């Protein structure tokens, strides 16, 4: 008779670096932490008495690269500054310069949406045009796309980085 192999872990912390999300955004680091983890080998399963924590960090440069790749509305040459709780974006369209200020909103504890606060294209407001482009890329993050159940609880924007906080649970085995 084969012996069941299991492992009990008091606390666990895993750091994942340069994680490519399905829509193309690269998350610089994701830290997953949990307490009282129980692992079973066959069939493989992970049990935790309560969800673990999730902390994801995205640097301004990665957001700019993602936006350059997506080129919403034909914009290019993105510069992103993350400070004081807001996202400041500058980009070019043809020979014009555009500047926008955005905020974030968590919807249904799983989706992260970018919301346009203001936009200026060569001194002219173009909020409706830019808002329609944002609607094509929102939500920018959907925790439902992750391979484990996760929720987003809050975020911080400052010092050149966006930090998302949430919880994560292993999949429930039938």
DSSP string of 15-71, one letter each residue = EEEEEE-TTSPEEEEEEEEEEEEEEETTTTEEE-SS-EEEEEEEEHHHHHHHHHHH-
Domain spans, the chain:
6-168
Share of the chain above pLDDT 90, in %: 52
Predicted pLDDT at 1? 47
Predicted pLDDT at 135? 75
CB atoms within 10 A of CB 91: 24
Q: Give 122 or 120, the one with higher predicted confidence.
A: 120
pLDDT exceeds cutoff 90 at 62: yes
Give me the mean pLDDT over the 130-139 stretch: 75
Predicted pLDDT at 32? 93
**DSSP state for residue 161 in the 8-state scheme:** E
Average pLDDT, the chain: 87
Instruction: Look up the pTM and report it.
Output: 0.84
- Residue 85's pLDDT band (cuts 50, 70, 90): very high
Pick the most confident of 88-97, 137-146, 159-168: 159-168
């Amino acid at each position: 008779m084969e012996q069941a192999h299991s492992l009990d872990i008091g606390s666990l912390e895993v750091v994942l670096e340069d994680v490519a999300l399905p829509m193309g955004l690269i998350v610089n680091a994701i830290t997953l932490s949990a307490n009282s983890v129980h692992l079973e080998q066959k069939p493989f399963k992970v049990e935790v008495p309560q969800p673990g924590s999730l902390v994801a960090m995205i640097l301004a440069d990665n957001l700019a690269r993602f936006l350059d790749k997506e080129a919403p509305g034909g914009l290019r040459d993105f510069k992103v500054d993350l400070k004081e709780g807001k996202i400041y974006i500058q980009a070019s369209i043809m020979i014009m310069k555009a500047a926008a200020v955005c905020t974030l909103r968590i919807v249904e504890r799983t989706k992260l949406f970018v919301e346009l606060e203001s936009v200026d294209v060569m001194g002219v407001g173009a909020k409706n045009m830019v808002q329609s482009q944002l609607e094509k890329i929102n939500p920018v993050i959907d925790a439902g796309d992750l391979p484990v159940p996760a929720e987003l609880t809050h975020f911080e924007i400052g010092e050149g980085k966006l930090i998302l906080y949430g919880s994560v649970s292993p999949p429930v085995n039938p």
